[in-house]
Amino acid sequence: MYNIIIYLYQLGVAVASLFNGKVRKMWRGERDAIRVLREQVDVNARYVWFHAASLGEFEQGRPLMEQLRQEHPEYKILLTFFSPSGYEVRKNYEGADIICYLPLDTITNARRFLRTVRPVMAFFIKYEFWYNYLHILRHRGIPVYSVSSIFRPDQIFFRWYGRQYAHVLKCFTRFYVQNDLSRQLLGSIGITDVTVVGDTRFDRVLQIKAAAKQLPVVEQFIVGCEGTGVRGCEGHLVPPSPRTPAPSKIFVAGSSWQPDEDIFIPYFNEHRDWKLIIAPHVISEDHLGQIVSKLAGRKVERYTQATEESVKDADVLIVDCFGLLSSIYHYADVTYVGGGFGVGIHNTLEAAVWDVPVIFGPNNQRFQEAQGLKACGGGLEISCAADFQQVMQRFTSEPQSIKDAGRAAGAFVKQMTGATQKIMQDVKL
């Protein structure tokens, strides 16, 4: 049944590729993967294979790849993606020797792929459970590890109709899961090779913090005409001169969608003692135009068009490019992470690591890090504009509450680190 579904899916992707550019990239990339491997694989090398569905899973696997590279340079790294949103962004990642799409999980593709690469071990990040690849890896005696995986009772593996498919989980050598509930759920279906280590994303955000960029345009936006310099933080490069206190507090909204913007923008149109930085998830002229139209009477600058001089007079900065958000969070007094009024919140840890409070929408139940931030007081859930206004009024009237929530957020991130080291110490290389 599984293989029938895969072939039907393959047919559907082929048809969809005629009409959708993103699907077309994936379709071509999957079909081209075996050729890429045959051209690039060194037959005398030993490859460790990492597979990530998309960009988020890549970030979870990245600390493992980089530690493996540092401690065991005798191995080469193969990195595969399922989604274009991962491959297109990281196809030039220097931490892997070969990067390509993963051919669709048919028996023929899996055999060709593994015959070409002959990996000595494989790491599947979080949710990847490809039936044919995993069974052939097991048949060949190749160790396979699931890392940063997390399981919930409503997943197919734990339903009566999914017990047959759940056998695929027995192909893994060991699971390195995020929490004890995952260990218990796997134990309920007879899988005991499980270690609770946490989430490697916590390790990754500490790496991101240490490598944060200094952004002169953002610094001048914050300071305005009142002075120069920027607040310092451990692990972040700063100018030699100290920051002169800014006249306004800074609110950074990251990965925002239109429902998020409909909540926080009206508040800041009325409360102009805050400066606002918006880094929307979708950067298109239509969306950027919508944002500007909602900012009634405020002086707006777009990052790509701003200069250090022009941005001084602005009180709203729109970040209309990618790759800066994790560094921009450093400049915030309060942050907001979008997606919670849609399919789910984006990366809250990139903000929390900077010791700032994080506000997000209600669709966060599937995100363990959000639950942890709420529990410690560093994360604040809102369900409507009235909730947001209440939170911001408290922050404004009680400035100490910003510091307390920020310290709680940062402490939570720090105490949850260490998963990468635990995995690498346990895996036999």
| Per-residue confidence band for 358, with pLDDT thresholds at 50, 70 and 90 | very high
| Per-residue confidence band for 20, with pLDDT thresholds at 50, 70 and 90 | confident
Of residues 322 and 390, more confidence is placed in: 390
Torsion region of 125: left, alpha or beta (phi above 0 gives left; psi -120 to 50 gives alpha): beta
pLDDT exceeds 50 at position 110: yes
Cα distance between residue 138 and residue 363, in whole Å:
37
54-58, 146-150, 179-183, 413-417: the lowest-pLDDT one: 54-58
- What is the CB-side half-sphere exposure of residue 386 using CA atoms within 13 A? 0
Average pLDDT for 31-37: 87
| Per-residue confidence band for 247, with pLDDT thresholds at 50, 70 and 90 | low
pLDDT tens readout for residues 263-308: 999 999 999 999 999 999 999 999 999 999 999 888 999 999 999 9
Q: Which two tokens stand for residue 281?
A: 């998830």
Q: Which two tokens stand for residue 199?
A: 């989430």
Beta carbons within 8 Å of 398's beta carbon, 6+ residues apart: none
Q: Which of 202, 245, 197, 200 is nearest to 223 (CA)?
A: 245
Q: Which of 49, 48, 60, 59 is nearest to 149 (CA)?
A: 60
Per DSSP, the three-state class of 321 is coil
At residue 27, the pLDDT reads 67
pLDDT exceeds 90 at position 429: no
At residue 4, the pLDDT reads 78
Q: Which of 329, 327, 306 is nearest to 316 (CA)?
A: 306
pLDDT tens readout for residues 212-244: 999 999 999 998 744 333 444 443 434 433 344
Average pLDDT for 320-329: 93
Q: Is the CB of residue 125 less than 8 Å from the CB of residue 53?
A: yes
Beta carbons within 8 Å of 252's beta carbon, 6+ residues apart: 277, 279, 328, 329, 331, 332, 334, 335, 336, 351
At residue 74, the pLDDT reads 96
pLDDT exceeds 80 at position 169: yes
Cα distance between residue 277 and residue 333, in whole Å:
11
At residue 193, the pLDDT reads 96
Q: Is the CB of residue 103 less than 8 Å from the CB of residue 117?
A: no
Alpha carbon 179 to its chain centroid, in Å, reads: 18
Q: Which two tokens stand for residue 204?
A: 């990754």
Beta carbons within 8 Å of 83's beta carbon, 6+ residues apart: 26, 53, 54, 55
Of residues 428 and 254, more confidence is placed in: 254
pLDDT exceeds 80 at position 178: yes
Per DSSP, the three-state class of 273 is coil
The crossing angle, in degrees rounded to 10, of helices 385-397 and 258-270 is 40
The pLDDT mean for the chain works out to: 90
Instruction: Tell me the percentage of the chain whose pLDDT exceeds 90.
Output: 76
Cα distance between residue 153 and residue 362, in whole Å:
20
